[in-house]
Amino acid sequence: MQKTIALTAILAFFCLSSIGFATSNSNGKTFPFTEAEDHDGAKFVWFVYSQSKYRYDYIKAGDFPKSNRFSPSPNNKPQPGDVAWWKTFVAIYSPDKGRTEYLSTAKGKIELNKMILKLGPVRYFRYNKPD
């Protein structure tokens, strides 16, 4: 039996750690992949989850719903750390304490509403924590 888990720890790790790798984003963070390799956001999501000890095999954004490590978030209601999914892009749901909903990406935070306007309705997925 698998349990789903909201991954607030993932966001805490990403925000508080200084990771020294090859490629820098506009926020000064560096990652072990290029911007071109992360065109669909999947490398960033995979990297942040794996650095937070929530590992899964890398998959492209389009194949994300097929992963056995993730299940749809109940009623499509996200919690911090859930993955926002579109056929061509994924990001980590990371709302602030106010009313604005954000997504974390390798390029920094972006407003969820802007992505919905650009890509259409979003589906959320939650990590399946093995027993």
Q: Domains of the chain, with CATH numbers?
A: 3-129 (3.90.1720)
CA 31 to each of CA 26, 95, 104: distance values in angstroms, whole numbers, following the listed order? 12, 22, 14
Q: Is 42 helix (H, G, I), strand (E, B) or coil?
A: helix
Is the pTM above the cut of 0.75? Answer: yes
Share of the chain above pLDDT 70, in %: 77
Reported as a single tens digit per residue, the pLDDT across 27-73 is: 556 777 888 888 999 999 999 998 888 889 999 999 989 999 999 99
